[in-house]
């Protein structure tokens, strides 16, 4: 499992456009970090870097104890992107079963997750036919299914109804309590307050607020 993530003077440049400039931060177990900032501030780029989907242009990311190896860190990362990262032609259950197999999990092991996320009969339909909120539930389940020690959530409340948001808040708290490192992007600052999250604020690709995430209360 990932015990700590260190971001060391990381920059990411797309063509001639810098998305992130010299970011340094530490993410610890039992913590929830709210990454906030205006549009284009580099939040999703930072989450993409933490997820191993993007490589830094300069600087380094260390997923302790795996060092800077994305290959070793990947099995321990759960990532909810702003896209669902699933195959629209497959059903929700087919997508989850396939993802579980990639992580070396048995398909039967999905049962507790489907209960936990209240995935009803809609999960047996092709993802293409699902509403935005239903897709989001499948995407959240996909991010959670390997019990990741680094959980990255990019605007997780998108498309969810009030009941879904309440459920999501409870799940995020449970994940942090069991020891996961949780990083969330949300424009809704109330979510951060509800979760007791610490804030990492970005503006124009630069870091404005603290770089070390404190432990959440009770951990």
Residues that bind another protein (CB under 8 A): 51-53, 55, 71, 74-75, 77, 79, 81, 83-90, 94, 98-99, 101-106, 108-110, 112-113, 127, 135, 142, 145-147
* Minimum CB distance to another protein smaller for 89 or for 188: 89
Contact 36, 189 (CB under 8 A): yes
Instruction: Tell the smallest beta-carbon distance from residue 207 to another protein (Å).
Output: 24
* Minimum CB distance to another protein smaller for 147 or for 204: 147
- CA-closest candidate to residue 203, choices 16, 12, 19, 5: 19
Prior bond of 65 cis (ω within 30°): yes
* Minimum CB distance to another protein smaller for 107 or for 214: 107
DSSP 183: E
Instruction: Tell the smallest beta-carbon distance from residue 215 to another protein (Å).
Output: 25
- What is the SS3 assignment for 125? coil
Q: What are phi and psi of 22, to 5 degrees?
A: 60, 45
Instruction: Tell the smallest beta-carbon distance from residue 120 to another protein (Å).
Output: 20
Pair of tokens at residue 59: 């600087």
* Minimum CB distance to another protein smaller for 43 or for 74: 74
Backbone region of residue 115 per phi and psi (left: phi > 0; alpha: psi in -120 to 50; beta: other values): alpha
Instruction: Tell the smallest beta-carbon distance from residue 189 to another protein (Å).
Output: 26
* Minimum CB distance to another protein smaller for 136 or for 207: 136
Contact 50, 62 (CB under 8 A): no
213 vs 219: CA distance, rounded Å: 13
Instruction: Tell the smallest beta-carbon distance from residue 2 to another protein (Å).
Output: 13
């Amino acid at each position: 499992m990932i015990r700590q993530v260190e971001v060391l003077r990381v920059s990411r440049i797309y063509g001639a456009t810098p998305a992130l400039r010299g970011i340094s931060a530490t993410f610890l177990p039992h913590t929830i970090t709210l990454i906030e900032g205006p549009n284009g501030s580099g939040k999703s780029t930072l989450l993409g870097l933490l997820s191993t989907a993007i490589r830094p242009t300069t600087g380094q990311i260390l997923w302790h104890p795996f060092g800077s190896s994305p290959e070793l860190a990947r099995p321990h990362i759960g990532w909810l992107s702003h896209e669902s990262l699933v195959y629209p032609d497959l059903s929700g259950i087919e997508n989850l079963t396939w993802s579980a197999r990639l992580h070396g999990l048995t398909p039967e092991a999905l049962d507790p997750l489907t209960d936990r996320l209240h995935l009803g009969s809609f999960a047996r339909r092709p993802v293409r036919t699902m509403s935005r909120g239903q897709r989001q539930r499948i995407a959240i389940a996909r991010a959670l299914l390997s019990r990741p020690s680094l959980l990255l959530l990019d605007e997780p409340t998108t498309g969810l109804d009030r009941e879904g948001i309440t459920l999501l808040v409870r799940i995020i708290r449970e994940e942090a309590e069991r020891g996961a490192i949780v990083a969330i992007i949300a424009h809704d600052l109330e979510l951060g307050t509800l979760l007791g999250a610490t804030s990492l604020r970005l503006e124009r690709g630069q870091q404005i607020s603290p770089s070390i995430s404190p432990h959440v209360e009770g951990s």
